[in-house]
Amino acid sequence: MLHYFKNLSLSRSAWFFLVLSCIVLEGVALYFQHGMGLVPCVMCIYERVALFGILFAGVLGFLGNRYAVLRWLAILIWLGSAFKGLTLALKHHDYQVNPSPWNQCEFKVDFPQTLPLDKWLPQVFAPGPVNCSQSQWEMFGFSMAQWLIFTFAVYLIFSVIVLISQFKRSRQKNSFIFR
């Protein structure tokens, strides 16, 4: 199984699938925001940034899948972004199931001054005046935060498997010059 994932990490199609899945999820998030009129909260914006981290890792892996340094860097960015996204989604879910005055998210996003995403792309990264404890959307009885827990957990599991598979040696085909 690890050989399979090692070979997948060496192919561009697997990295393309990672990029495509992130683009689809980001597109759904933007449809919820601009098409359905759901206002994103601060935690939604942070989760969106974590998903963009996975997207960046996928692009890096797509472009540098044959170079070990770039592939490792892409896997580590993917792993870190998936882990951060999972912790953010768990915290977001905690805000929703345990609402209280001392368990609330911030009022505005706190991006570094060198990377003010909310100023550069306010249509994507600017939150609305919504409290993180409000659940605006559900599907099959699960809130958006719960769906994001599942999504980031899947990304995290696959990134760990791909990371472990990098320690497996690739099988070399027996090609004899003289036979």
Enzyme catalytic residues: 41, 44, 48, 105, 132
Instruction: Quickly count: other Cβ atoms within 10 Å of residue 76's Cβ.
Output: 13
Residue 41 CA to residue 46 CA, distance in Å, equals 9
Question: In sequence order, what are the beta bridge partners of 143?
Answer: 138
Which residues in 15-40 are b (16+ Cβ under 10 Å) and which e? beebbebbeebbeebeebbeeeebeb
User: DSSP class of residue 21?
Assistant: H
- Tokens 């605006």 locate to 136
